[in-house]
Amino acid sequence: MKRKFGNRKRLLFLAAGVGLGVLAVCMARRPAINAYPVTRVSVILPHNDDGYWSLIREGIEEGDMEWGGRYNIDIKFFVPQLNYNIPQMTEALRQQVAAKVDVVVVQGNEDPEFQAVLEEAREEGTEIICMDTPFRDFPYDLYVGTDNRAAGQLIGQELAALTEGRADVAVILGAEGYLNLEERLEGFEEALEPYPDIRIQSVCYDQYDGLTFMQLYHSQSREANMLVCLEGTGGLALSHTYTERDDEYQVIVGFDSYEGVESGVLDGIVKQDTRQMGRRIVEEIAGFVETGRYSARDIYTDIIWLTSENYDEVMNE
């Protein structure tokens, strides 16, 4: 049964061959009609924040402006009422599968019910694209996002340089069951293997909630003098709470909190290219419409280490 919008392309070529003569007559009398059937794309965002998912959405919208009209791509967004609420995202996914859309774009997670609905989508011939987070075992068609193991290694290497190889570290992540966070932690631990004097004292989860993060921020400083935030909630919470650096930790590093780096609240972050993620998703869908395949199964977007020293250069590129 797979792939339904690839099959439409073959039918289109047959119809084009039959209708060339009619087309030549009509072109002079009416505006050109898009040559591609409509490809309906449903994007389920887990969060509508102002510093990460909103930028991915902007990238998708930019890609839609560039390729959507040319390839007749119709993109709609769905966001749960509660941030990262998997049951609500599952229900949105179920509705889109029932509507028989051509493509669903989701953040990967390990929830069995969510994956069961995705399996229904696969059986209907729907393309499954993962943004930001892939699935561990589920056979998705395309992943667009960061190489998260490499991102974890990068933040570990930079922490080692900042601390001269000696630190007691508290690590805070978003929630369990997300492969991107697990890969970041694995990469971080791998980067610290040559540094026996950097000790990970705790690994905690803030459930993507700023208030929970701030409670952990204060409690973990009893045993740790360095803080590592392996997703964006921590850095964003700190940048909204403080206008300048406090003295609770000697070094704080994280992900995606540009304001925190600019103000000096964070010593550095891994900057993910979120707009590139969004644009590449639409570009790959356009390529599939045209050729029936993606350029690769896993597409890794750029990461860079952002500090106050290179802030202007990086952000003005």
Tracing tokens 């609240």 back to the chain, one arrives at 265
| pLDDT tens, position by position, 177-192 | 899 999 999 999 999 9
Distance of CA 311 to the CA centre of its chain: 22
Tell me, yes or no, whether 255 lies in a domain. yes
Q: For residues 172 and 213, what is the distance between their CA atoms, to the nearest angstrom?
A: 8
In a domain, 46, yes or no: yes
The CA dihedral of 135, 139, 140, 144, to the nearest 10 degrees, is 50
Tell me the pLDDT tens digit for each residue of 102-122.
999 999 999 999 999 999 999
Whether 176 and 208 share a structural domain:
yes
**Using an 8 Å Cβ cutoff, are 147 and 179 in contact?**
no
Residues 268 and 205 in one domain: yes
Residue 311 lies in a domain: no
pLDDT band at 50 (very low <50, low <70, confident <90, very high): low
Whether residue 166 sits in one domain with residue 44: no
Q: How far apart are the first and last CA of the chain?
A: 44
Burial of 54 (0-12, 13-18, 19+ CB in 10 A): middle
Q: Does 85 lie in the same domain as 179?
A: no
- Same domain membership, residue 96 and residue 9: yes
| Residue 317 falls inside a structural domain | no
Eight-class DSSP state of 65: I
Query: Do both 109 and 187 map to the same domain?
Result: no
CA 262 to chain centre: 23
User: Partners of 203 in the beta sheet?
Assistant: 171
Domains in the chain: how many in total? 2
Convert the pLDDT of each residue in 228-283 to its tens digit.
999 999 999 999 999 998 899 999 999 999 899 999 999 999 999 999 999 999 99
Residue 79 domain boundaries: 4-146+278-301
Q: Are residues 134 and 172 in the same domain?
A: no
Of 113, 93, 112, nearest in space to 103 by CA: 93
Residue 190 has which token pair?
């791998």
Q: Same structural domain for residues 170 and 264? A: yes
The CATH number of whichever domain residue 46 belongs to comes to 3.40.50.2300
- When pLDDT is cut at 50, 70 and 90, the band that residue 224 belongs to is very high
Contacts of residue 246, defined as CB under 8 A and 6 or more positions apart, other chains included, come to none
Same domain, 16 and 107: yes
Q: Is 82 inside a domain boundary? A: yes
Dihedral (CA of 79, 234, 58, 8) sign? negative
Q: Are residues 180 and 127 in the same domain?
A: no
Burial label, 30 (beta-carbon count in 10 A; 0-12, 13-18, 19+): exposed
- Check whether residue 282 and residue 268 sit in a common domain: no
Cis peptide before 3 (omega within 30 of 0): yes
Quick check: is 307 in a domain? Answer: no
- Residue 167 backbone phi and psi in degrees, to 5: -170, 150
